Structure 1
Amino acid sequence: MEKPITDGRVNIRGNMEMRERPKFADYVLYTHAGYPLAIVEAKDNKHNVSFGIQQAKTYAQMMDIQFAYSSNGDAFAEYDFLTGVEREFPLDEFPSQEMLAARLKEEAHLTQKEIKVIEQPFYVSEDTYAPRYYQQVAVDRALGAIARGQQRILLVMATGTGKTYTAFQIIYRLRKAGLKKKILYLADRNILVDQSIQQDFRPLANVIHKVNYAADDRTTITAYEVYFSLYQQLFGENDEERFRELFDPGFFDLIVIDECHRGSAKADGRWRRILDYFQDATQIGMTATPKETSYVSNIDYFGEPVYTYSLKQGIDDGFLAPFRVINVHLNIGEGWRPRKGQRDFFGNEIEDRIYNNTDYDYHIVLEDRIREVAAHITQYLRQTDRMAKTIVFCADEAAAERMRQELTKQNADMMKQYPNYVVRITGSDTYGKNQLSYFISVSSPVPVIATTSQLLSTGVDCKMVKLIVLDENITSMTMFKQIIGRGTRLRYDEGKRSFVIMDFRGVTRLFADPDWDGPVIEDPDYGKGKGGTTTGTGGSGNSGNGGGPSPKPFVRADGCKVYTVQETVSVYDAGGKLLKQENIINYTKENILGQFGDLHAFIQQWNSAKKKRAIADALAVHGVDLDKLKQAMKMDDVDDFDFICHVAYDQKPLTRRERAEGVKKRDFLSRYSGAAREVLETLLDSYMNLGIRNIEQIDILKLKDFQKFGKPARIAKLFNGKQGYEEAVRALENELYKAG
């Protein structure tokens, strides 16, 4: 009953995030094994019987349910997706579970193997959650295809939607049904294998083996059921095919290829050689971004996806985080030309041409550009959250090290407290790779900033990343989607409700590409020999001179001054369509003016408000968080009243201390005597520290500063009761804002 289907989309409004109401099905009817048979929408009898059938059909299609029902309490309407027939019938004729299951088997022409997998429940425990609707669909689609004898299966699921969990449930149910006994799970990064074994696959720990060619014995390795392997473990240093020595071609019944958009997509790739050797095994490719180019194709190998759950769907359903984009335009972005005869740090003359964003860090290094990029990142974190997990994608490993050094310099205060506040995490950096598990951990506060090149672009479960910095040239849509996917994981209750993309290279222009989250279509030129790289991440930056590579020109800060000329903040919908470009200050000003009118009208409303908090609450409805905005503008010591007047009406703000001092000078407190006066003096001090919204709350009297006066009820007696105390507070407020 009232089964939540989605979590409710998270919308970005101003500098706040607000969650929509989830989609609920009134009733979902499951078999005892947990297979969804029917969905029922219930309306009152002011509506006709079939009033809810469209809604029921919509939810049924989302959940792959074949029978949809609507009722107004007088009768039922049924839509059967398998036959296309819609009918009405009396309440007492609603079909039993057995009747519906029998109809499903007959009308869908289910085989005995299909029935067997349907009858296997999902694995659920205290540590393993029940599947979300799309995960259930993905598992059931894959199981159905396997039961029907399909040997090559492709599942496309956006980053952060639980591909590994889905793979675990497929394997668990296939083993329970007895359809697959020996299973190989392939990945190309050690952390992907270890994450999978330790997290989603933990219930199968007793039957799992991680392949290690150096330690494994062919005679004993056959004792396990689920094998995890890096493809590197299945090849030798000289590319010899070790898998032939360890396993016979028919050993595995099922192979799952994680992140199959990488090596296995190439017809001549290493993974393809493994898959061809075990060609009799059922093979499931899992990816967030299937590659489809003239020389790389997943569809050519696996066939059309049996199920696709896109980033757009994930954001719309509220399972993935929405995002803002900050485009930073530097003065040299479109072009920089060296002076005549200008030499670099090494004393070499810099080639006379126009350099732009495709050159910086690839063909020439500008010291001041590194400083400016790092300064922007640091400033943003200072204004928002210094502990917000951040990934900076750089041109190459050397650029990632230069960025690490500069960020370390600009965040010396945090480095003093947290020596690993900034780290480089790249393929060749052993120390950085050892910090990766801490970086992706929800519980570990550091590292906070990771500079990288390619290592963190895919496959790594970065749950709490709130800022993704693009300082790398990216033209590949696959790579772009993978990088954006590093931020899409939603941890709503832990404060990860959206993320920010900070773009220094104009990479986010790819949101305007028709391929952004569009359908996967096989490239018609695949297999015709047309090639070229697909990553588009720029050249090496080293040019051959016959005698080896020469260093990239390195230009010191005095040779090229870099500064920001423009910054735009954009909000996109899940489909990559630009919703708005906004400056949060302008957004706030527009909302204040729209709500309160001119300065005189605002002051009137402020003074007449019984609780000043009402003003902040009214703005919060429109997505304006005054506290967050004050912090960003370094105006924490300014009263709400002054801050609003400053932002919307260009008034010079007073600090809370200045307002409090004004009250003391006007001798307002002389109206009161003894302990009552001391209470108001203490309130005034609290106002200076905490602001107007806090002193309005009666709970403030429970704070340590007020304990010497007794409990709140005793304090109220000093003012002849609660009403007298509240009148004194309002009088104090009126005095505070006299200068306003």
Structure 2
Amino acid sequence: MTRQAFSERDICTKFITPAIEQAGWNIHTQVREEYPVSDGRIMVRGRMHHRAHPRRADYVLSFQKNQPIAVIEAKDASHSLGHGMQQAQAYAEKLDVPFAISSNGSGFLFSDPHRLVFDQAETILALDQLPGPDALWHGYRRWKGLSEETRPVVEQPFYDDGSGRTPRYYQMVAVNRTVEAIAKGQDRLLLVMATGTGKTYTAFQLIWRLWKAGRKQRILFLTDRNVLVDQTKSGDFKPFGAAMTKITKRQVEKSHEIYLSLYQAVTGSEEEKNIYKQFSPDFFDLVVIDECHRGSAAEDSAWRAILDYFSGATHIGLTATPKETTEVSNIHYFGEPIYTYSLKQGIDDGYLAPYKVTRIDLDRDLQGWRPSDGQTDIHGELIEDRIYNQRDFDRNLILTQRTELVARTITDYLTQTDPMQKTIVFCENIDHAERMRQALVNLNPRHVAKNRKYVMRITGDEQEGKAELDHFIDPEEPYPVIAVTSKLMTTGVDAKTCKLIVLDQRIQSMTEFKQIIGRGTRIDAEHDKFWFTILDFRKATELFADPAFDGDPEQVYVPGDGDPLLPEEGDDADDSGDENDLTSEGDGSPTDPTLPPEGHWEDDEDGGIGEPPKKYVVDDVTVAVIGRRVQYLGPDGKLITEELTDYTRKTVRAHYATLNDFLRHWEASDRKQAVLDELAQQGVFWEDLTSEVEKSLGDTPDPFDAIVHIVYGQPALTRRQRAAKARQSDYFTRYEGQARAVLDALLDKYADSGVATIEDTKVLQMAPLDRLGTVVELAGAFGGKAGYREAVRALEATLYADAATAG
């Protein structure tokens, strides 16, 4: 057998792997094959989803495990030596390494754009000329500017418990960059990682390597929620064992090396501040601040006092949403992010759940409302004569029918999809949340009768609701199902199974918006959570179109200009008095002692202390839905804002300009489902399209018919009509006995569930085919597997014969 006949796998096994070993690489500790650089993007289609193919680098070469230095992309011998180079370079860029290598088994093409090892950008090497680990590690350190003195720190391996759990590529890059920066003497660093991408695990690996290398011996990890401290201690940080302790308000021990603490446990009253002052200012070598966009971003925050006190330590800020306003700045304190892994990247890689948006427009929100002359509210208060709009609703003016309509829309959605899916409803304030809770309770009597906790208000002013937060986020706990909140659940809530986020809150802060969206981005395959829906009643999702949504943060705070500029009215709402709704889990104390008592009216946007603004309550103003639009994430990571049919028309015609083009491709394809999957990758959503056509047909059409009807204007048939026409053709006269019975059953399966079902050989194991014989016997009725597959292809040709004529 010649090398030209070898598959890519053969090329790897027979040529590339031996060459790697010959160059001195330890195949067990320094070489990773099929290294994952994505899980495959999740594409949502109606209520269904599928994953794109995961992306894997053929080989990743590392000096120490999980410290890559080079990527090798392999191709079979029918390709040129450099055919895989651009793919290897793309992987090398993602893995933050300088060397990309391509091979077809005859040798290597070595990309070294910085001329770290060779004297040209790309060099052709024989199989026995691949550089070894010492040469590439030396080149890597030159590229990173790492001196000989940094080696004990940067060469310290990641934690490995032998379970097979290793950092994902972006977590590895984040840790490596941070460790290298600290080794070079940098002492203020910012890591930006989208919610759900494993910031705590990343922090653990980072601390572990610095601690084990002896570079940082006493470390303080700060967060703002007691539940997060406890989860961290018993979860990702568990390997620290007895070296770790939790700081409380009652006890300070100085015999440990890893300290976990709430901000609140070491700030607040003078007595509480004395807790952290019991440590000397130079006690800690490293302070890691989780959710650093919160209080530590502001120079006058009580939380900042901790960082100022331990100013001699290295400070690392972790956040999904760095805060940059005219008053506060993470970048001013920590510097530009050393690494950013965004929501868009996470969704594109398939590590985060994508979303679809249903935007619901209410007439009063868009048109406004003005009281009649002398009109009073239900309390007899004379309503101030002016036009009230969306900004006023549930703050200055309560339209009770608006609340009921929103609650009814939420209930209808849950009824049509899954009434037990975890749902978070974000309201304007605590009062609005309570009214929404009541409306949802009254609209769901059957579920509430089964369990009174079906709907719970979870806000910072009420202990009963707050006590249910842990149950809501626990995937194994069915109740509560619907959590109604205002601010408490915007951050630090790991709600893996949350499938529905409802926005009935006016959101002006990009930081807050990102945090809210982050409540739904976690994937939980065990509980069938791969994507989530956003119901938007306040136009909040227009922020998706803002370049700042997934762009790099820009510093707008300028120190030294005297008093900081006041934010524009309504801006940065997440730092208003609503934050008293963000209380700690342990003792109920507020996160910032400067905030007023819980339940005070400052839960409104104004955030000031004093008399609450006047609220009018009106119960006789009708409210109606006047617009509803579903938007999906397209393949470019942006929401598709066109009408679904227009988008489909444009997308399909970009691939197949005419009906004949499409039909030729359809007929030539061995698997029709492959054509549909190919278009689905471009954002063609079959379930919604077929439901559009179904309205006129009265029954379910084939996705094929949805295409030819919507894109090319051809008449559409239902699946049952296609099946009936196929039965009347002479195709079936070719078969008899068991073969004829199999084809009849396949046709029924097609009519019930579509072409994908009959193209999968597993259909032979399903009822009623399983009653006709074993898989081997049924295939044997057609002369074997090849004959069976040919019969299915002929059946498909018969099903779509009329389309060929139309083309």
Taking structure 1 as the reference length, the TM-score comes to 0.80
Question: 1:181 — aligned with what?
Answer: 217
Contact 2:363 2:625 in 1 (8 A): yes
Moved more, 403-412 or 70-79: 70-79
Question: 1:640 — aligned with what?
Answer: 700
| Equivalent residue in structure 2 for 1:562, among 618, 623, 627 | 623
- Secondary structure of 1:485's match? helix
Q: Distance in 2 between matches of 1:695 and 1:29?
A: 43
Q: Which runs of 5+ in 2 are unaligned?
A: 1-32, 577-601, 657-666, 721-737, 780-787, 800-807
Question: 1:532 — aligned with what?
Answer: 566
| Equivalent residue in structure 2 for 1:460, among 454, 469, 493 | 493
Alignment of 1:148-163 (within 5 A): 148-163=184-199
Contact 2:222 2:289 in 1 (8 A): yes
Runs of 4+ in 1 over 6 A off after TM superposition: 585-596, 614-621, 624-635, 642-656, 689-716
Question: 2:632 — aligned with what?
Answer: 571
Q: Distance in 2 between matches of 1:106 and 1:542?
A: 52
Question: 1:310 — aligned with what?
Answer: 342
Matching residue's letter, 1:224: H
Question: 1:297 — aligned with what?
Answer: 329
Question: 1:53 — aligned with what?
Answer: 85
Deviation at residue 588 of structure 1 after TM alignment: 8.7
Answer yes or no: is 1:321 the counterpart of 2:353. yes
Moved more, 623-632 or 280-289: 623-632
Q: Distance in 2 between matches of 1:699 and 1:574?
A: 30
Q: Distance in 1 between matches of 2:763 and 2:145?
A: 69
Deviation at residue 276 of structure 1 after TM alignment: 0.6
Instruction: Flag the 1:120–1:249 CA change in 2: closer, same or farther, 3 A.
Output: same
Deviation at residue 164 of structure 1 after TM alignment: 0.8
Contact 1:265 1:291 in 2 (8 A): yes
Q: Write out per-residue CA displacement over residues 364-390 of structure 1, whole angstroms, 9 at most, x where no aligned residue.
A: 111111111111111222222222222
Instruction: Flag the 1:76–1:548 CA change in 2: closer, same or farther, 3 A.
Output: closer
Q: Distance in 2 between matches of 1:594 and 1:65?
A: 36
Moved more, 120-129 or 354-363: 120-129
Instruction: Flag the 1:366–1:150 CA change in 2: closer, same or farther, 3 A.
Output: same
- Secondary structure of 2:159's match? coil
Instruction: Flag the 1:90–1:176 CA change in 2: closer, same or farther, 3 A.
Output: same
Q: Distance in 1 between matches of 2:714 and 2:382?
A: 51
Instruction: Flag the 1:591–1:15 CA change in 2: closer, same or farther, 3 A.
Output: farther
- Secondary structure of 1:420's match? helix
Instruction: Flag the 1:563–1:191 CA change in 2: closer, same or farther, 3 A.
Output: same
Question: 1:520 — aligned with what?
Answer: 553
Instruction: Flag the 1:69–1:407 CA change in 2: closer, same or farther, 3 A.
Output: same
Contact 2:423 2:500 in 1 (8 A): yes
Moved more, 334-343 or 565-574: 565-574
Instruction: Flag the 1:425–1:94 CA change in 2: closer, same or farther, 3 A.
Output: same
Identity of aligned residues (%): 44
Alignment of 1:355-394 (within 5 A): 355-394=388-427
Deviation at residue 561 of structure 1 after TM alignment: 0.5
Q: Distance in 1 between matches of 2:769 and 2:145?
A: 76
Contact 2:178 2:189 in 1 (8 A): yes
Moved more, 103-112 or 403-412: 103-112
Question: 2:804 — aligned with what?
Answer: none
Contact 2:107 2:124 in 1 (8 A): no
Deviation at residue 160 of structure 1 after TM alignment: 1.4
Deviation at residue 619 of structure 1 after TM alignment: 6.3
Answer yes or no: is 1:447 the counterpart of 2:480. yes
Deviation at residue 525 of structure 1 after TM alignment: 3.6
Matching residue's letter, 1:322: P
Instruction: Flag the 1:478–1:701 CA change in 2: closer, same or farther, 3 A.
Output: closer
Deviation at residue 279 of structure 1 after TM alignment: 0.9
Alignment of 1:274-673 (within 5 A): 274-334=306-366, 335-492=368-525, 494-523=527-556, 525-528=558-561, 529-533=563-567, 534-536=571-573, 548-549=611-612, 552-556=615-619, 559-573=620-634, 577-583=638-644, 623=680, 640=700
Q: Write out per-residue CA displacement over residues 384-434 of structure 1, whole angstroms, 9 at most, x where no aligned residue.
A: 222222211111112112111111222222223343222222112222222
Q: Distance in 2 between matches of 1:291 and 1:486?
A: 18
Q: Distance in 1 between matches of 2:686 and 2:76?
A: 43
Q: Write out per-residue CA displacement over residues 90-109 of structure 1, whole angstroms, 9 at most, x where no aligned residue.
A: 32221122232234345655
Deviation at residue 651 of structure 1 after TM alignment: 12
Deviation at residue 317 of structure 1 after TM alignment: 2.0
Deviation at residue 526 of structure 1 after TM alignment: 4.4
Moved more, 342-351 or 30-39: 30-39
Alignment of 1:230-269 (within 5 A): 230-237=262-269, 241-269=273-301
Q: Distance in 2 between matches of 1:49 and 1:542?
A: 62
Question: 2:125 — aligned with what?
Answer: 90
Question: 1:131 — aligned with what?
Answer: 167
Contact 1:392 1:449 in 2 (8 A): yes
Question: 1:145 — aligned with what?
Answer: 181
Q: Distance in 2 between matches of 1:159 and 1:355?
A: 36
Moved more, 702-711 or 297-306: 702-711
Deviation at residue 283 of structure 1 after TM alignment: 0.8
Contact 1:571 1:578 in 2 (8 A): yes
Matching residue's letter, 1:123: Y
Instruction: Flag the 1:277–1:338 CA change in 2: closer, same or farther, 3 A.
Output: same
Deviation at residue 261 of structure 1 after TM alignment: 0.5
Q: CA RMSD in A?
A: 5.1
Q: Distance in 1 between matches of 2:39 and 2:766?
A: 38
Q: Distance in 1 between matches of 2:655 and 2:66?
A: 51
Matching residue's letter, 1:366: L
Moved more, 427-436 or 154-163: 427-436
Matching residue's letter, 2:516: I
